[in-house]
Amino acid sequence: MAIDQISIFVENSPGRLAEVTQTLGAAGIDLRAMSIADTMDFGILRLIVNEPARALEVLKAAQCVFSVTPVLAVSVADKPGNLARALSALAAEGVSVEYAYAFIARQRGNAYVIFRVEDNERAQAILEKNGIQVVNSDELYAL
C-alpha cells in the first residue's frame, strides 16, 4: 500500500524551486504534500501528487533529475498521540525512519504523515499490528 513519492533534484539557486513547482502547476498537476531537504549547495524536493505518472512525464520533458520512491502514509488525526505511537512502534522493532513529513488535508481536517523507511511491507505490518491505519494511494490522491 505504498505511495509513490517523487523526489526532484533542485539546485540551490534562487528561483529553481519555484520553477519546478510552476512547471507541474502549469500542467495541471496538484501537489498533495511537499517537503524540501536542503544542504549548503543542493536541495531535494519531495512531492506527493495527484497524478504521479503524468507528473513524471512533465518532469522528464523539463529535463529534471528525479526518482520515484515508495513511501508509507499514515493518518494521525483520528486519534491523538498516533504519531508518537507510530514512531515508537517502528523504533521498538528496529525500523529506522529515514525521513518523515506531515501535511494536512483541509477538506477532511485530517493530518497525514509520510514515512520513508527501507522496508515498507514490514513497517506497514508493524504499524497495523499497533492499530495505526496506513492510508492507501487512492485515498491520498483523491484528497
Partner 1 sequence: MKYYQREIECAPRDTLRALQSERLARTVRHVYQNVAYYRDLMDKKGVGPDDIRSVDDLPKLPFLTKDDLRDAYPYGLLAVPLHDCVRIQSTSGTTGRRVVAFYTQDDIDLWEECCARAIAAAGGTKDDVVHVCYGYGLFTGGPGLNGGSHKVGALTLPMSSGNTDRQVQFMCDLGSTILCCTPSYAAYLAETIVGQGRRDEIKLKAGIFGAEAWSEEMRRDIEKKLGIRAYDIYGLTEISGPGVSFECEEQTGMHINEDHFLAEIIDPDTGETLPDGAKGELVFSCISKKAFPLLRYRTRDICVLSRETCSCGRTLIKMSKPMGRSDDMLIIRGVNVFPSQIETVLLGAGFPSNYQIIVDRVNYTDTFEVQVEMTPEMFSDKVKQIATREEDLLASLRAMLGISPKVTLVAPRTIARSEGKAVRVIDRRKI
User: Which chain residues interact with partner 1 by CB under 8 A?
Assistant: 5, 7, 9-11, 16, 37-39, 41-42, 44, 46, 63-67, 69, 98-99, 116
Supply the minimum distance, in Å, between the C-beta of residue 106 and partner 1: 26
From the CB of residue 47, how many other CB atoms can be counted at a distance below 10 Å? 23
SS (H, E, C) the chain: CCEEEEEEEEECCCCHHHHHHHHHHHCCCCEEEEEEEECCCEEEEEEEECCHHHHHHHHHHCCCCEEEEEEEEEECCCCCCHHHHHHHHHHHCCCCCCEEEEEEECCCCEEEEEEECCCHHHHHHHHHHCCCCEECHHHHHCC
Supply the minimum distance, in Å, between the C-beta of residue 41 and partner 1: 5
**CB closer to partner 1, 9 vs 141:** 9
Supply the minimum distance, in Å, between the C-beta of residue 85 and partner 1: 25
**CB closer to partner 1, 46 vs 76:** 46
- How far, in Å, CA of 83 to CA of 128, rounded? 13
Supply the minimum distance, in Å, between the C-beta of residue 52 and partner 1: 14
**CB closer to partner 1, 67 vs 136:** 67
Supply the minimum distance, in Å, between the C-beta of residue 129 and partner 1: 27
**CB closer to partner 1, 46 vs 89:** 46
**CB closer to partner 1, 40 vs 53:** 40
